[in-house]
Amino acid sequence: MIELIPAIDLIGGKCVRLSQGEFESKKVYDEDPAEVAARFADCGIRRIHLVDLEGAKQAAPANLAVLERIRSRVDVELEWGGGIATLADLVTVFDAGATQAVVGTVAALKPNLFLEWLDRFGPDRIVLGADIRNGRIAVRGWLSEVPLRIEDLLDPFGPAGLSQVVCTDISRDGMLQGPATRLYVDLQKNYPDITFSVSGGIASMDDVRALDALGLRRVIVGKALYEGKITLDEVKKWSQSA
């Protein structure tokens, strides 16, 4: 059964959501992300996806105090992305309580450095963040693109043991219009040794069930939770049956 992973996006220490990565579309949903995480943990989920949006924009972690507070409240895996540009950033994120680090810009722009981190910390802790806009990889908090397709990004890392990828279709992120299903089905088929997290567009539990039926392994859910399109009761029932 596909694993449902709630998302918490952070700006200024608050739980927010954007649409298609546009900071001007910011909407604050909760002042206390640690309380939000606790509610998710109470549903029986195993992992929370945390995104430091400010960190991604400024290329340095900006909400580590929030990560520390969340870690003090919940005993689940915390997958943290945003602003990890150096080894010092990576170590600081782990020290603050992250179980996994999602790394995108470094992987795209400095693949040898990403390979070093993958070797040092292992594929259980280093997750590749693959953010796609118009078929190309977006970097630096989605502010720019590089001339790489997702296959170009993935291929060098598979032989090194890469096992987890969060793949976000930026055009669908926060839009509640359904995921880019064919993209994920093709990726999972072509890279069977990698677990892909579907990210972007999830609008209801029907989307989750459809992805599950197609054999996808993980799905990240954000705005649908905050807008009440998916309820905590539904999350709890899904987690308990997994």
Instruction: Specify the pLDDT at position 157.
Output: 97
Instruction: Specify the pLDDT at position 175.
Output: 78
* Residues recorded for the chain: 242
201 in Cβ contact with 176 (< 8 Å): yes
52 carries an active-site annotation: no
9 carries an active-site annotation: yes
Alpha carbons within 13 angstroms on the beta-carbon side of residue 157 total 34
Choice among 52, 89, 131, 212 that is catalytic: 131
DSSP states of the chain? -PEEEEEEEEETTEEEEEETTEEEEEEEEES-HHHHHHHHHHTT-SEEEEEEHHHHHHTS---HHHHHHHHHH--SEEEEES---SHHHHHHHHHTT-SEEEE-HHHHH-HHHHHHHHHHH-TTTEEEEEEEETTEEEETTTTEEES--HHHHHTTTGGGT--EEEEEEGGGTTT-S---HHHHHHHHHH-TTSEEEEES---SHHHHHHHHHTT--EEEE-HHHHTTSS-HHHHHHHHHH-
- Burial (CB < 10 A; 0-12, 13-18, 19+), residue 113, is middle
pLDDT one digit per residue (tens) for the chain, 242 residues:
999 999 999 999 999 988 877 777 889 999 999 999 999 999 999 999 999 999 988 999 999 999 999 999 999 999 999 999 999 999 999 999 999 999 999 999 999 999 999 999 999 999 999 999 888 998 877 667 889 999 999 999 999 999 999 999 888 877 788 999 999 999 999 999 999 999 999 999 999 999 999 999 999 999 999 999 999 999 999 999 98
- Burial (CB < 10 A; 0-12, 13-18, 19+), residue 147, is exposed
Instruction: Tell the CATH superfamily of the 3-241 domain.
Output: Aldolase class I (3.20.20.70)
Instruction: Specify the pLDDT at position 135.
Output: 84
Instruction: Specify the pLDDT at position 242.
Output: 80
Instruction: Specify the pLDDT at position 173.
Output: 76
Beta strands at 3-11 and 47-52: parallel, antiparallel or unpaired: parallel
